[in-house]
Structure 1
Amino acid sequence: MDLDRTTRDLAERMATQLRVKGTDLTDVVSRAGRKLPRRLRAEATVLIEAQALARNPKLGRRVDQARVLKAERRLRAYLDRLDSGSEKRAEILDRLAAVGFVVLVVAGVLFYVLVQQGAFR
């Protein structure tokens, strides 16, 4: 099992589907933040730690291959279920709601100022 290739593939896929930037799995997981559930962040941490251990010839034997495969399967299953279209729609709706709130606040302040100056008497 080539752990470097596996983590690189997962990082690319996560970066694409979660729409975050990063070159390796560590960057992508740290930038994903709340887009990646806590239990899957722990699975990604298992892969990151295994990759670090595998770089050292003596410590590479300590890597739990079964645990690494399980973590990889869980991350891939999550990415398969993920619908990036709904994420984009939700982000657009969030931005529209924020803009609408700002417009509403500005209109309220403007109305208050006009009432204080006696524009509606």
Structure 2
Amino acid sequence: MIDRQDFDTRAEALRPLFEDRLRIKARDLREAFHRAGPELPRGIRGDGVLLSKTEHLVANPHIARQLEDAPVWAAFNRVTAHLKEIDPKARRRGIILDRLAGVAFNILVVFAGFVIWLWWRGYV
């Protein structure tokens, strides 16, 4: 049996982690995991699906009594551990470096195309 208060307490504990580590503000877990999408590994996304469904089902006390709590708490622990491992500074630095690498590649392609065009026209 899953207690609604325990579930809500743990869900509220995840909210600051999503905001601090991934810069995602969301009303509930479903929205948070949806916005995080490809930034999370596949296993954590699976845990997110479980937690999102459980969040919806726990609203009904009759259904909440039928749910097993061990997989839900394990999913909470895995998601919390993963979010705590994320370094926001390194993530930001990685995003900036990826964009700069893309720009550098585009400049290289344009320069190579220009040299080929010069060679083709007979200027080089």
Counterpart in the other structure of 2:58: 54
In structure 1, the gaps of 5 or more residues are none
The CA RMSD measured in Å over matched residues stands at 2.0
Match of 1:38 among 38, 42, 45: 42
TM-score, normalised via structure 1 length: 0.83
- Structure 1 segments of 4 or more deviating over 6 A? none
Q: Letter of the aligned partner of 1:36 in structure 2?
A: L
Q: Letter of the aligned partner of 1:49 in structure 2?
A: K
In structure 2, the gaps of 5 or more residues are none
The 3-state SS of whatever aligns with 2:61 is coil
Aligned residue pairs: how many? 120
Q: Which of 6-15 and 53-62 deviates more? A: 6-15
Maintained 8 Å contact 1:47/1:68: yes
CA-to-aligned-CA distance 1:44-69 (integer Å, 9 cap, x gap): 22221221111112112122223222
Match of 2:108 among 101, 104, 111: 104
Structure with the larger RCO, 1 or 2 (CA within 8 Å, 6+ apart): 2
- Equivalent-residue separation in structure 1 for 2:101 and 2:122 (angstroms): 31
Q: How does 1:82-97 map to 2 (within 5 A)?
A: 82-97=86-101
Counterpart in the other structure of 1:114: 118
Maintained 8 Å contact 2:18/2:25: no
The 3-state SS of whatever aligns with 1:58 is helix
Maintained 8 Å contact 1:53/1:62: no
Maintained 8 Å contact 2:51/2:75: yes
Query: What percentage of residue pairs aligned between the two structures are identical?
Result: 33
Counterpart in the other structure of 1:75: 79
